[in-house]
Amino acid sequence: MKQVSAIATQGRYSSSDWTTRYRLLYSDTGRNWKPYHQDGNIWAFSGNSNSESSVRHELQQGFVARFLRLVPLDWSEEGRIGLRIEVYGCSYWAGVINFDGQGVISYRFKVKKMKIIKDVIALRFKTSESEGVILHGEGQQGDYITLELRKAKLQIQINLGDNQYGSILGHTSVTTGSLLDDNHWHSVVLERYRRNVNFTLDRHTQHFRTNGEFDHLDLDYELSFGGMPYSGKPLGGGRKNFKGCMESINYNGDNITDLFRTWNPDGLLLFSNLDDGTLEISLEESRVMVHINVTKGESNNQVDLSSGEFPNR
Protein backbone atom coordinates (compact mmCIF):
# COMPACT_ATOMS: atom_id res chain seq x y z
CA MET A 1 0.00 0.00 0.00
CA LYS A 2 1.23 3.42 -0.86
CA GLN A 3 0.08 6.94 -0.12
CA VAL A 4 0.52 8.45 -3.58
CA SER A 5 1.39 12.15 -3.70
CA ALA A 6 2.96 12.69 -7.14
CA ILE A 7 3.50 10.97 -10.47
CA ALA A 8 6.10 11.47 -13.21
CA THR A 9 6.19 10.08 -16.74
CA GLN A 10 8.75 9.90 -19.51
CA GLY A 11 8.73 8.45 -23.04
CA ARG A 12 10.41 5.17 -23.98
CA TYR A 13 14.20 5.49 -23.95
CA SER A 14 15.73 6.66 -27.25
CA SER A 15 12.56 6.31 -29.31
CA SER A 16 9.70 8.24 -30.89
CA ASP A 17 7.27 6.72 -28.39
CA TRP A 18 5.63 8.73 -25.66
CA THR A 19 2.24 9.46 -24.07
CA THR A 20 0.87 13.00 -24.28
CA ARG A 21 -2.27 12.64 -22.18
CA TYR A 22 -3.41 10.01 -19.72
CA ARG A 23 -5.84 9.14 -16.95
CA LEU A 24 -4.97 7.49 -13.68
CA LEU A 25 -7.03 4.78 -11.96
CA TYR A 26 -6.31 3.18 -8.62
CA SER A 27 -7.49 0.22 -6.62
CA ASP A 28 -7.08 -1.65 -3.34
CA THR A 29 -7.99 -5.03 -4.78
CA GLY A 30 -7.02 -4.91 -8.46
CA ARG A 31 -10.67 -5.52 -9.41
CA ASN A 32 -12.59 -2.32 -8.67
CA TRP A 33 -10.93 0.79 -10.05
CA LYS A 34 -11.49 4.42 -9.08
CA PRO A 35 -10.51 7.19 -11.48
CA TYR A 36 -8.39 9.99 -10.04
CA HIS A 37 -10.44 13.17 -9.67
CA GLN A 38 -9.26 16.73 -9.47
CA ASP A 39 -11.34 19.94 -9.47
CA GLY A 40 -14.46 17.75 -9.52
CA ASN A 41 -13.57 16.02 -12.81
CA ILE A 42 -12.02 12.74 -13.81
CA TRP A 43 -8.60 14.15 -14.40
CA ALA A 44 -6.61 13.96 -17.63
CA PHE A 45 -2.92 14.51 -16.98
CA SER A 46 -0.76 16.23 -19.55
CA GLY A 47 2.10 13.87 -20.34
CA ASN A 48 5.18 14.07 -22.52
CA SER A 49 6.02 15.75 -25.81
CA ASN A 50 9.29 13.89 -26.40
CA SER A 51 10.99 10.71 -25.25
CA GLU A 52 13.60 12.32 -23.00
CA SER A 53 12.20 14.86 -20.53
CA SER A 54 10.12 13.70 -17.61
CA VAL A 55 6.94 15.52 -16.58
CA ARG A 56 5.90 15.43 -12.96
CA HIS A 57 2.54 16.25 -11.39
CA GLU A 58 1.89 16.86 -7.72
CA LEU A 59 -1.52 15.41 -6.88
CA GLN A 60 -3.89 17.90 -5.29
CA GLN A 61 -5.72 14.96 -3.74
CA GLY A 62 -3.37 12.23 -2.61
CA PHE A 63 -4.79 8.71 -2.28
CA VAL A 64 -3.90 5.34 -0.80
CA ALA A 65 -3.80 2.38 -3.18
CA ARG A 66 -2.21 -0.99 -3.80
CA PHE A 67 -2.64 -0.95 -7.60
CA LEU A 68 -2.35 1.80 -10.21
CA ARG A 69 -3.54 1.78 -13.79
CA LEU A 70 -2.54 4.38 -16.32
CA VAL A 71 -4.80 4.84 -19.36
CA PRO A 72 -3.17 6.62 -22.35
CA LEU A 73 -5.54 9.06 -24.09
CA ASP A 74 -3.16 10.52 -26.68
CA TRP A 75 0.37 9.67 -27.73
CA SER A 76 3.22 10.51 -30.08
CA GLU A 77 2.21 11.19 -33.70
CA GLU A 78 5.63 10.04 -34.86
CA GLY A 79 5.57 6.79 -32.95
CA ARG A 80 3.50 4.73 -30.55
CA ILE A 81 2.57 4.70 -26.89
CA GLY A 82 5.74 4.67 -24.82
CA LEU A 83 6.03 5.16 -21.10
CA ARG A 84 8.37 5.19 -18.16
CA ILE A 85 6.70 6.03 -14.87
CA GLU A 86 7.68 6.96 -11.33
CA VAL A 87 5.18 7.09 -8.47
CA TYR A 88 6.00 9.22 -5.43
CA GLY A 89 4.64 8.81 -1.95
CA CYS A 90 5.10 7.14 1.39
CA SER A 91 4.51 3.52 2.23
CA TYR A 92 1.21 3.22 4.01
CA TRP A 93 1.99 1.44 7.23
CA ALA A 94 2.04 2.47 10.86
CA GLY A 95 5.72 3.36 10.98
CA VAL A 96 5.73 5.96 8.23
CA ILE A 97 4.30 9.46 8.46
CA ASN A 98 3.35 11.25 5.27
CA PHE A 99 3.90 15.03 5.30
CA ASP A 100 1.93 16.83 2.61
CA GLY A 101 3.52 20.25 3.12
CA GLN A 102 0.49 21.49 5.12
CA GLY A 103 0.31 19.48 8.31
CA VAL A 104 2.77 19.65 11.17
CA ILE A 105 3.09 17.17 14.03
CA SER A 106 3.78 18.59 17.44
CA TYR A 107 5.35 16.73 20.31
CA ARG A 108 4.15 18.51 23.43
CA PHE A 109 6.33 18.45 26.51
CA LYS A 110 4.73 17.43 29.78
CA VAL A 111 5.85 20.72 31.31
CA LYS A 112 5.71 24.09 29.60
CA LYS A 113 9.36 24.95 30.01
CA MET A 114 12.07 22.43 29.36
CA LYS A 115 15.69 22.93 30.36
CA ILE A 116 17.53 20.27 28.44
CA ILE A 117 21.17 19.40 28.95
CA LYS A 118 21.21 16.37 26.69
CA ASP A 119 19.39 15.62 23.43
CA VAL A 120 19.28 12.51 21.30
CA ILE A 121 17.19 12.99 18.17
CA ALA A 122 17.01 10.35 15.46
CA LEU A 123 14.82 10.06 12.38
CA ARG A 124 14.75 8.97 8.78
CA PHE A 125 13.38 11.09 5.95
CA LYS A 126 12.70 10.81 2.24
CA THR A 127 11.77 13.71 -0.04
CA SER A 128 12.07 15.09 -3.52
CA GLU A 129 11.94 18.69 -2.29
CA SER A 130 15.12 20.67 -1.70
CA GLU A 131 13.67 22.89 1.07
CA GLY A 132 11.67 22.10 4.19
CA VAL A 133 11.70 22.21 7.99
CA ILE A 134 12.23 18.75 9.50
CA LEU A 135 12.01 19.78 13.13
CA HIS A 136 11.88 22.95 15.17
CA GLY A 137 11.74 23.98 18.81
CA GLU A 138 12.12 27.36 20.49
CA GLY A 139 11.87 29.05 23.86
CA GLN A 140 11.03 32.52 25.10
CA GLN A 141 14.59 33.07 26.27
CA GLY A 142 15.65 32.98 22.65
CA ASP A 143 16.97 29.44 22.50
CA TYR A 144 16.08 27.42 19.43
CA ILE A 145 16.85 24.33 17.44
CA THR A 146 15.94 23.94 13.77
CA LEU A 147 16.80 21.05 11.49
CA GLU A 148 15.93 21.76 7.88
CA LEU A 149 16.69 21.07 4.26
CA ARG A 150 18.19 24.00 2.41
CA LYS A 151 19.24 23.65 -1.20
CA ALA A 152 19.05 19.87 -0.72
CA LYS A 153 21.59 19.98 2.13
CA LEU A 154 20.83 19.32 5.77
CA GLN A 155 21.32 22.27 8.10
CA ILE A 156 21.11 22.47 11.85
CA GLN A 157 20.72 25.81 13.59
CA ILE A 158 20.96 25.77 17.35
CA ASN A 159 21.24 28.45 20.00
CA LEU A 160 21.65 27.56 23.68
CA GLY A 161 21.48 31.23 24.66
CA ASP A 162 23.02 34.66 24.11
CA ASN A 163 24.48 36.54 27.05
CA GLN A 164 22.50 39.48 28.35
CA TYR A 165 24.65 42.15 26.72
CA GLY A 166 24.44 40.50 23.34
CA SER A 167 28.22 40.45 23.11
CA ILE A 168 28.40 36.67 23.10
CA LEU A 169 26.02 35.06 20.67
CA GLY A 170 24.97 31.43 20.78
CA HIS A 171 23.78 31.04 17.20
CA THR A 172 25.48 28.04 15.60
CA SER A 173 24.84 26.69 12.13
CA VAL A 174 26.28 23.51 10.61
CA THR A 175 25.49 22.05 7.19
CA THR A 176 26.06 18.52 5.97
CA GLY A 177 25.31 16.33 2.96
CA SER A 178 24.10 17.26 -0.50
CA LEU A 179 21.52 16.18 -3.09
CA LEU A 180 19.24 14.98 -0.31
CA ASP A 181 16.14 15.60 -2.47
CA ASP A 182 16.77 12.27 -4.23
CA ASN A 183 13.62 10.50 -2.96
CA HIS A 184 15.74 7.96 -1.06
CA TRP A 185 15.76 7.37 2.68
CA HIS A 186 18.36 9.27 4.72
CA SER A 187 19.00 8.85 8.41
CA VAL A 188 19.85 11.66 10.82
CA VAL A 189 21.10 11.35 14.39
CA LEU A 190 21.77 14.36 16.54
CA GLU A 191 23.41 13.79 19.91
CA ARG A 192 24.12 16.75 22.15
CA TYR A 193 25.62 16.85 25.60
CA ARG A 194 25.99 20.42 26.84
CA ARG A 195 27.77 22.26 24.00
CA ASN A 196 29.14 19.15 22.33
CA VAL A 197 27.21 17.89 19.35
CA ASN A 198 27.59 14.84 17.13
CA PHE A 199 25.64 15.38 13.94
CA THR A 200 25.32 12.21 11.86
CA LEU A 201 23.86 11.93 8.37
CA ASP A 202 23.87 8.47 6.77
CA ARG A 203 26.68 7.29 9.08
CA HIS A 204 28.91 10.27 8.39
CA THR A 205 29.44 12.07 11.71
CA GLN A 206 30.49 15.67 12.23
CA HIS A 207 31.43 16.87 15.66
CA PHE A 208 31.01 20.50 16.66
CA ARG A 209 30.66 22.72 19.72
CA THR A 210 27.90 25.28 19.95
CA ASN A 211 28.83 28.95 20.22
CA GLY A 212 28.28 30.98 23.35
CA GLU A 213 28.72 29.93 26.95
CA PHE A 214 25.49 28.14 27.84
CA ASP A 215 24.82 24.42 28.20
CA HIS A 216 21.03 24.09 28.30
CA LEU A 217 18.53 24.15 25.47
CA ASP A 218 15.53 25.98 26.92
CA LEU A 219 12.38 25.11 24.99
CA ASP A 220 8.72 25.97 25.59
CA TYR A 221 5.73 23.70 25.05
CA GLU A 222 6.72 21.59 22.08
CA LEU A 223 8.92 20.33 19.33
CA SER A 224 7.32 20.34 15.91
CA PHE A 225 8.10 17.96 13.09
CA GLY A 226 7.57 18.78 9.42
CA GLY A 227 7.31 22.54 9.82
CA MET A 228 7.20 25.53 12.12
CA PRO A 229 4.72 25.34 15.01
CA TYR A 230 1.42 27.13 14.67
CA SER A 231 1.83 28.76 18.06
CA GLY A 232 5.34 29.97 17.32
CA LYS A 233 6.48 33.53 16.90
CA PRO A 234 7.00 34.61 13.31
CA LEU A 235 10.54 33.25 13.46
CA GLY A 236 9.69 31.13 10.46
CA GLY A 237 10.90 33.68 7.94
CA GLY A 238 9.08 32.12 5.01
CA ARG A 239 10.41 28.66 5.72
CA LYS A 240 8.71 25.87 3.85
CA ASN A 241 7.09 22.89 5.52
CA PHE A 242 8.61 19.50 4.86
CA LYS A 243 6.98 17.49 2.11
CA GLY A 244 7.77 13.79 2.01
CA CYS A 245 7.99 10.84 4.38
CA MET A 246 9.52 10.38 7.83
CA GLU A 247 9.91 7.27 9.92
CA SER A 248 11.53 6.11 13.15
CA ILE A 249 11.35 9.55 14.75
CA ASN A 250 12.86 9.29 18.21
CA TYR A 251 13.30 12.11 20.68
CA ASN A 252 15.17 11.42 23.92
CA GLY A 253 13.88 7.85 24.03
CA ASP A 254 10.29 8.55 22.97
CA ASN A 255 9.26 7.04 19.68
CA ILE A 256 7.26 9.91 18.16
CA THR A 257 6.08 7.86 15.19
CA ASP A 258 4.49 5.31 17.53
CA LEU A 259 3.02 7.96 19.79
CA PHE A 260 1.31 9.53 16.83
CA ARG A 261 -0.02 6.27 15.48
CA THR A 262 -1.07 4.65 18.73
CA TRP A 263 -2.90 7.61 20.21
CA ASN A 264 -0.79 7.82 23.29
CA PRO A 265 -2.77 9.66 25.94
CA ASP A 266 -0.36 12.53 26.37
CA GLY A 267 0.84 15.59 24.66
CA LEU A 268 0.48 15.24 20.96
CA LEU A 269 -1.11 17.41 18.36
CA LEU A 270 -1.80 17.47 14.68
CA PHE A 271 -2.18 20.82 13.06
CA SER A 272 -3.34 21.62 9.57
CA ASN A 273 -4.17 24.78 7.64
CA LEU A 274 -7.63 24.76 6.10
CA ASP A 275 -8.65 27.07 3.26
CA ASP A 276 -10.10 29.57 5.71
CA GLY A 277 -8.99 28.49 9.14
CA THR A 278 -7.11 25.88 11.08
CA LEU A 279 -7.66 22.39 12.43
CA GLU A 280 -5.97 21.16 15.59
CA ILE A 281 -6.24 17.67 17.03
CA SER A 282 -4.69 17.09 20.41
CA LEU A 283 -4.76 14.32 22.93
CA GLU A 284 -5.24 15.29 26.51
CA GLU A 285 -5.39 12.55 29.12
CA SER A 286 -6.77 9.97 26.69
CA ARG A 287 -9.37 12.38 25.35
CA VAL A 288 -9.23 13.57 21.78
CA MET A 289 -9.64 17.32 21.51
CA VAL A 290 -10.53 18.80 18.16
CA HIS A 291 -10.28 22.56 17.72
CA ILE A 292 -11.57 23.96 14.47
CA ASN A 293 -10.93 27.62 13.86
CA VAL A 294 -12.74 29.19 10.95
CA THR A 295 -11.92 32.70 9.83
CA LYS A 296 -14.55 34.39 7.71
CA GLY A 297 -13.89 38.00 6.89
CA GLU A 298 -13.47 39.77 10.20
CA SER A 299 -15.16 37.15 12.36
CA ASN A 300 -13.41 34.21 13.92
CA ASN A 301 -15.38 31.16 14.98
CA GLN A 302 -13.89 28.45 17.09
CA VAL A 303 -15.47 25.04 17.59
CA ASP A 304 -14.04 22.74 20.24
CA LEU A 305 -15.01 19.11 20.49
CA SER A 306 -13.82 16.39 22.79
CA SER A 307 -14.45 12.69 22.78
CA GLY A 308 -15.03 10.44 25.74
CA GLU A 309 -12.45 7.93 26.79
CA PHE A 310 -10.53 6.97 23.72
CA PRO A 311 -9.10 3.49 23.82
CA ASN A 312 -5.35 3.37 23.46
CA ARG A 313 -4.44 1.00 20.73
Residue nearest to Ca ion (CB): 161
Residue of 138, 148, 162, 218 interacting with Ca ion (CB under 5 A): 218
Among 47, 103, 137, 161, indicate the residue that binds Ca ion (CB under 5 A). Answer: 161
**Nearest distance from residue 233's CB to Ca ion, in Å?**
17
| Alpha-carbon span 259 to 253, nearest angstrom | 12
For the segment 138-157, give every residue that binds Ca ion (CB under 5 A): 143
CB of 169 to Ca ion, least distance (A): 13
- By beta-carbon proximity to Ca ion, the closer residue of 143 and 222 is 143
269 binds Ca ion (CB under 5 A): no
- Determine if 216 is a binding residue for Ca ion (CB under 5 A): yes
Closest to Ca ion by CB, 14 or 164: 164
Piece of 214-222, 240-248, 277-285, 292-300 that binds Ca ion (CB under 5 A)? 214-222
Counting contacts by CB under 5 A, is residue 194 touching Ca ion? Answer: no
Question: How many residues at the interface with Ca ion, by CB under 5 A?
Answer: 6
Nearer to Ca ion, 214 or 242 (CB): 214
Span 79-108, contacts to Ca ion by CB under 5 A: none
Query: Residues interacting with Ca ion, by CB under 5 A?
Result: 143, 160-161, 214, 216, 218
